[in-house]
Amino acid sequence: MSRHDLFSTEREGYPLENREKRDLSDAVYSVTALNFAIRDLLEGAFFYCQVEGEVSNAAYPGSGHIYFNLKDEGGMLKSVIWRSQAERYRSLITNGQKIKLTGKVSVYAPRGEYQLIVSRVEEAGVGDLYLQFLALKNRLAEEGLFDTHYKQLIPKHPRKIGIITSRSAAALQDVLQVFSSHRPDIPLKLYATNVQGRGAEHDIANAIGRANRENICDLLLLIRGGGSIEDLWCFNEEVVARAIFASKIPIITGVGHETDITIADFVADLRAPTPSMAAKYSSQSRDELYQYLSEVESHLMKMMRDKLRTLEKEIDHLSYRLYLKDPKSRLSQNREQLIRLKAGLGRAIHYRLEQLQARYSVINDRLKRISLNDQIERHQDRLQMMSDGMERALRKKYQEREQAFVNTVEKLTLLSPLNTLLRGYSMTTKEGQLVKSITDVEIYDQLEIEVTDGTIDVAVISVGFHERSE
């Protein structure tokens, strides 16, 4: 029996009770034939009809068509708008929107499913769920639960992450896969809870509270895969919103698909479009972490170079002060020694930097083989201690050299002829040569006598020997 033999009435859209009825109790037909017959029956009875309801579970795949459910309190009707008209009505097909559809009923025979092929969409008002959503959203916004200054910072390097979702959720497997490839070194803690159905909102709030009481995680992910607006409604409940707001641990939400926005997303410290993206937002990748370590190394090296430049300036300043203490710049040899010390200090610093760089390479290699998070702070502290120690050693070395230089200046000053003049004595020279005996001069020689505050030019008029008593 063919599908055309089952119902011979033309498709004119009149009621089923007016059609010719046949006794098919003894007929044996294939599944395909029955599905096609039902399609002919429904398409003939509801060739064009109008239906009103609320949009639910809207989807916008890459094909360009729009798929959604039209529902009321007692039932649900699958509906589709083909790509040719999708852009025209796209803005009206949003979850919770109340609309009136014009179209024809069609059966997809391969699956035995019927749906409404929509040709026209009209706005009919706002759905009850959407009104509830807006009312709660506005009330919580007035209380300040969405204010940005209440948002907690997401830690860059979390030591442990808690995941709040159902143990059997597909989203959990997606998140675990991301962590496996993205950051396998971060420990995870599952806070299993229902994320759909009656009472799920209280289960979620309790899981958030439990995570805060245990206080072993420094970041929480609240996740669930896609679903209809009814499936995701527990994330629009006030008890969940207040639990998120009260959490002392930062929370990232990843609920549904990118187009699904819930009250929980508004309250959370960060909203991710999907559960997988929530996992990626929660921490830096290993490559990003290595880049961070490289930047830390560069920063520390810059600090050390800046410190060395500061010390060099201090050395130059002290050298100038020592130069000013020399009355006639007769201690140039000490300045040369200071220059040599300075050059030696530069070589020592350069050698020490090479040692630090080599040690850092060893530390970095070890860091790649063990848990990165536990090592970062220790190596930063160790580098800081090494930098402080080097600075102290450099200062001590320079102070020792400065003190030795001052001592040398004092000794030379004591031996200086100028010091003799300061005690009231004078020096006599002849043609630049020091006169030590009367045998060094003759009558009429011109002499120069140097005293503490100037010189006296004299002429020799007589020479006499002094007899010294034994």
Residue 40 pLDDT > 80: no
Q: What is the pLDDT of residue 190?
A: 95
Cα 18 to Cα 88: distance, rounded to the nearest angstrom: 37
Q: What is the pLDDT of residue 371?
A: 59
Q: Is 389 exposed, middle or buried (0-12, 13-18, 19+ CB in 10 A)?
A: exposed
Pairing of strands 66-71, 76-81: antiparallel
Cα 390 to Cα 352: distance, rounded to the nearest angstrom: 9
Q: What is the pLDDT of residue 236?
A: 92
Residue 300 pLDDT > 90: no
Q: What is the pLDDT of residue 65?
A: 94
Q: What is the pLDDT of residue 19?
A: 47
pLDDT band at residue 218, thresholds of 50, 70 and 90? very high
| CA neighbor of 289 nearest in space, from 373, 175, 365, 360 | 373
Mean pLDDT of 170-194: 90
Residue 213 pLDDT > 80: yes
Percentage of the chain exceeding pLDDT 90:
26
Percentages helix, strand, coil for the chain (3-state, rounded to 5) are: 50, 20, 30
Mean predicted lDDT score pLDDT of the chain: 81
Q: What is the pLDDT of residue 408?
A: 80
Q: Are 290 and 375 in contact (CB under 8 A)?
A: no
Residue 295 pLDDT > 60: yes
- Terminal C-alpha separation, the chain: 163
Q: What is the pLDDT of residue 329?
A: 57
Provide the token pair at 245.
């707001």
Cα 78 to Cα 93: distance, rounded to the nearest angstrom: 13
- Model confidence over 349-398: pLDDT tens digits? 777 778 877 777 776 776 666 556 666 777 777 777 887 777 787 788 87
Q: What is the pLDDT of residue 118?
A: 92
Percentage of the chain exceeding pLDDT 70:
81
- Model confidence over 85-115: pLDDT tens digits? 888 888 888 888 888 898 888 888 788 888 8
DSSP state of 21: P
Q: What is the pLDDT of residue 18?
A: 47
Mean pLDDT of 28-47: 75
Q: Are 153 and 250 in contact (CB under 8 A)?
A: yes
Mean pLDDT of 46-66: 87
Q: What is the pLDDT of residue 434?
A: 82
Q: Which helix (H) or strand (E) holds 404?
A: helix 372-415
CA-atom Rg of the chain in angstroms: 47
DSSP output for 363-388 = HHHHHHHS-HHHHHHHHHHHHHHHHH
Length of the chain: 470
Q: Are 80 and 66 in contact (CB under 8 A)?
A: yes
Cα 452 to Cα 239: distance, rounded to the nearest angstrom: 96
Q: What is the pLDDT of residue 14?
A: 39
Residue 7 pLDDT > 50: no
Q: What is the pLDDT of residue 211?
A: 96
Q: What is the pLDDT of residue 146?
A: 93
Provide the token pair at 9.
């009435």
- Model confidence over 226-269: pLDDT tens digits? 877 778 889 999 999 999 999 999 999 999 888 778 999 999 99
- Model confidence over 320-337: pLDDT tens digits? 766 666 555 556 666 677
Residue 428 pLDDT > 90: no
